[in-house]
């Protein structure tokens, strides 16, 4: 284990933009939940609200407001945003609040 290894779990309120496959089962919320729960740094998704979407030829870009528990190396918003964006399919994260 190195100093950069995620060793903390924090709860983050964040705006997230991610890709949901057009072939995903269910609605946009279910597709977004699949992307989030598959992301390695995400421990659990506590709340999720779809606030926008933009279809493309193969995927749908989905904007969310979520509360998630995240594995991270530090508790600063930037570190949590970086951890979230390391998840496959997550384009951007903007953390507004963190609690441990």
Residue 26 has pLDDT above 70, yes or no: yes
Higher-confidence residue: 75 or 5?
A: 75
Q: What is the DSSP letter of 2?
A: -
User: ∠ at Cα 58 (52, 13), nearest 5°?
Assistant: 35
Mean pLDDT computed over every residue of the chain: 90
Statement: 8-99 belongs to CATH 3.30.70: yes
In this prediction the pTM is: 0.86
Distance, in Å, from the CA atom of 59 to the CA atom of 14, rounded to the nearest integer, reads 22
- What residues are paired with 65 via a beta bridge? 15, 49
Of 86, 30, 40, 84, nearest to 62 (Cα)? 30
Beta-strand runs (E) in the chain: 8-21, 42-55, 59-72, 90-99
* Domain residue ranges of the chain, discontinuous segments joined by +: 8-99
- Tens of pLDDT along 44-89? 999 999 999 999 888 999 999 999 999 998 999 999 999 999 989 9
């Amino acid at each position: 284990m190195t100093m950069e290894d995620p060793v903390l779990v924090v709860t983050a309120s964040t705006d997230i933009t991610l890709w949901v496959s057009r072939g995903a089962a269910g609605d946009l919320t279910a597709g977004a939940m699949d992307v989030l729960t598959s992301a390695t740094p995400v421990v659990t998704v506590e709340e999720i609200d779809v606030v926008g979407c933009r279809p493309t030829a193969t995927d749908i870009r989905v904007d969310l407001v979520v509360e998630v528990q995240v594995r991270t190396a530090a508790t600063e918003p930037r570190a949590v945003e970086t951890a979230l964006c390391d998840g496959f399919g997550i384009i951007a994260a903007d953390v507004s609040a963190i609690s441990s």
